[in-house]
Every structure is written in structure tokens, then in C-alpha cells.
Chains A and B, each alone.
Chain A
Amino acid sequence: MAAQERTSSDFTVEIKQTLGGESITRCYQCGTCASSCPVAKMTDRYNPREVIRLALLGQRENVLGSDTIWLCASCYQCQERCPQEVEIADVIYALRNIAIREGKVPKIYAEFAATLTRDGRLVSMSKFLEKKRIEYGLPPLKPTGVEAIRKILSATGFDKLPISGMKGEST
């Protein structure tokens, strides 16, 4: 943690400048989000109000390094109800995006990135079902735009993110 000497405003500015994070400073800690959250209801490992509080306090390493930011189910229930119009689910995306840039990548997300780069899809087609389509009378699947998506991933720098297993599979 000592290597990252930042003041709270540094981290807040960083979040606000990241797509999705713009609204974070409007939070006044009312807790409406936490009381609407289906995940917080099931486990005390997660509380959206708390994530935002730590972020606003500048606890950069704590926020980015913890498993908490990965426990949001992106259901947008909190965001609908926040009286301050904090776009909470999007703020969580911004925090995840920052964490990923620093190589803090949960395994399942590394797999998503690899599959997307390889197939242009998140769920690979099975040979079995491609054959079954004919039997069912479904039209053959049109080819996926794999080349197009790889061009996009390279133009945005997505394919250079520090995610293990993503490169080498993109050939």
C-alpha cells in the first residue's frame, strides 16, 4: 500500500474521469442502495454504500484489491432508487475497469476476455448444436464478425490489457 501514496481526491478524480464513474461524488451515504441490493441481502461480504464510501475516502488499494467490487450483480436496482442519481452499477464498472488495467483480473473475467478475443462471442458454439440446427429446421448460423471485433479490441487497447491467457489465443 505504501507504494501508492495518493490523496482521496486523486482517486476520486481518477474515478470521475473513468467512463461510468462520473457521478460518484454525489453520494451522501444514505444507504438506499444497500437496502435495495439483492447481494447485500444475502452476504455481508458486499455493501454498495460501503464500496462508495471507501472510494470517496481514497482507499484506492483497499477498493481495487478487494473481492468486493466483483460482487455486484449489475442488476441496477440501486441505481433506480438512489436519491442522488449516483449511477452505482456504472461506478462499479469504472472501478472494475481501473482494477483490470492494473492486472487485478478475476479468473472468470480472464476467461471471458480470452473467449471474446478468440471467438467474437462469450459462449462458444458447440459442434453438436450446429448439427442439431438442421434437424430442428433452424437456419444455419451466419458467420460471426470475429475479424471486426478483433480490430475493435486492438484499436481500444483491450487486447493489450494485462489479462493472462488473452494473447496468443487471438490468432
Chain B
Amino acid sequence: MTSYALFLGCTIPARQPHYELSARKAMAKLGVELVDLEGVTCCAPPPVQSIDLETSLIVAAYNICLAEEADLNIVTLCTGCFESLAVANNILKENVMLRTRVNGVLSCLGKEFKGKKEVRHYLQVLLNDVGLNYLRRSVVKPLKSLRVAAFSGCHLLRPSKLLRFDDPERPRIFDTLIEALGAESVWYRNKLKCCGGLLRGYADDVALAIARDKIVNAAHAGADCIATLCPFCFLTLDLGQVLIKSTYKEEYDMPIIHYTELLSLSLGIDPKELALEFHKVKIDKVLDKIGLNLP
């Protein structure tokens, strides 16, 4: 059985049980074991990088050390965690000077970054470990006629030099995995552009304007929902619609759904088990369209 150390990060367990539940249930169904490690911390994403970039590298390296000790590769759900950990992993594997500096600090904790493990995103596990064929065969409830606006979030793709996930200007992996569930991945304007989420709390007006643009573009393309991977994008676009309603007096009613939720539904997992009440914008329209109804 394939096993990975599951790196949940901060936001998912603290705010989005629907993400964690769907991610765990789907992987269990697909035969991948997810192991929870003790002692993990924040991955040190952009807010921490903005305060001190070197500290953030060391915090990321510390977390990778825990996986090295457990002899497991890491899988992340959050694309922010993916970026922090994969960037640190790849920089530190290559840059000996920086690695020496980082290990100098880690030695106070009795840790050493060895660079022997990989950091993967959930989608990579689906694509490479589960495999497209097996995934397609496992779908019992194809998401026929569902038009999905794929929004991977910036940090699944960029900086591509260090993340090496997909072509940063013409990515296909996320779309392919949406289509493997029987849905259609629709093109929409500015698909690869940021949701503005990281400006929340500093420049809320700008952040909301950017998020609104995203939703407008998906709506114009006739999407039934926007599929996300990052809990921060989810929050920005889902809760964001409540704020758009009060600020712009506009209502889009655009469901925001984590890819893992679509995956779980297509694998036949009961929607009642997925804590779908954590969606601010209700997703009943989507459930209706794929022939699943909440009681």
C-alpha cells in the first residue's frame, strides 16, 4: 500500500472539516494510506516569509525532517503548504550553503535536513500513485454535464522553477483530473490569475475586487461551480461572496467546491458524511445537477 505523511497545515483542521473529510475518505477508497505525524507546525507560508524568509525556510525544513524520520514522502492538500514545503525542499536540496545554515539551526533541535524525501500535492498522488485509469474506473457517480471552473490557486503552479508541478502558463493536470470524474472543465477569463486572498486583512478592498473578478469570469463562462484546492482560495471566494453581496450589492450564488469533495461524490461517498454545511454558498444546485440530493 502506498503511504504518505499527510500535512494538513493550519487552516484546514481549524476551519474546513469538509476539505479534510473528503480528502481522507477519497484516498482511503482509492487505497492510499495517509499517516498523521506528531509535532508538525505551520508550514511558514507567505505571511511568515514576509516577516523573515530565512526563518520560514527553517520551519519548513523542520517539518520535512519529521517526514524524513518517518521515512515517508509528504502529501499536502493546501497549495500554500505545498508551495512552502516544496520550495524549501527543492532549494535546500540544491543550495549547499543555505542547507548548512539551516541545519546549523536545526541541530539545536537534534534535527538535520537530509533532502531524501519528496513533497507532493494531493493531485500528484492521484495522477502518479492512483493513476488516471484506476481513478476513472473507481468513479461510480460520474459528474455528467457538470461545468467546472478549475481554479488551482497560484501556489500549485508558481514559482514553477521550484515547484515543477505543471506548465505554469498552460497547465493541464487539474483539468484532466476534473474530467476524469466525468465533469467538464470550462475555460474562463483570467483562469490562472490570483484570487487576491493574501491581501485579506491588509487591503480588504483590493482583495475583494480581485475575488469578485474571479467569480464574475467563472459565471460568464457558464460554470456551475468553481473547484478549488487551496483553503485560502476557498475562503476568499466562498465567504467572499457574502462580502461581495454587502459591498457591491451583487449576488452570484456561485458554489465553491474543493476538488476532493467532487472526487468523493463521484466515488459514491454519501454527501451526508462530508460536512457540506461548511459552505457559505450552498452547493445544492450542484448536487441536483449530478443527481444527488441532500435530505
Q: Which A residues lie at the B interface, using CB under 8 A? A: 19-20, 38-39, 42-43, 45-46, 70-71, 73-77, 79-80, 87, 89-90, 93-94, 96-97, 100, 106, 108-109, 111-113, 116, 120-126, 129, 132-133, 136-139, 141-146, 148-149, 151-153, 155-156, 158, 161, 163
Contacts and interface: CB of A to CB of B under 8 A. Distances in A.
B277 to A, nearest CB: 11
Given A70-B203, A76-B159, A93-B50, 18 more contacts: A19-B54, A38-B190, A39-B196, A39-B199, A75-B198, A77-B192, A96-B50, A100-B52, A108-B201, A109-B51, A120-B41, A123-B10, A123-B14, A129-B13, A145-B41, A156-B54, A156-B58, A163-B51
Nearest to B154: A75
Interface in B139-155: 154-155
A120 B46 CA distance: 15
Interface in B34-74: 36-42, 45-55, 57-59, 62, 66
Contacts of B21: 136, 138
8 contacts: A38-B210, A76-B158, A79-B158, A136-B17, A143-B38, A145-B39, A152-B59, A153-B55
Interface of B: 10-11, 13-15, 17, 20-21, 24, 36-42, 45-55, 57-59, 62, 66, 105-106, 108-109, 154-155, 158-160, 168-169, 190, 192-194, 196-199, 201-203, 206-207, 209-210, 213, 273, 275
Given A145-B39, A149-B41, A106 B13 contact: no
Given A73-B198, A79-B159, A153-B55, A125 B14 contact: yes
A70 to B, nearest CB: 6
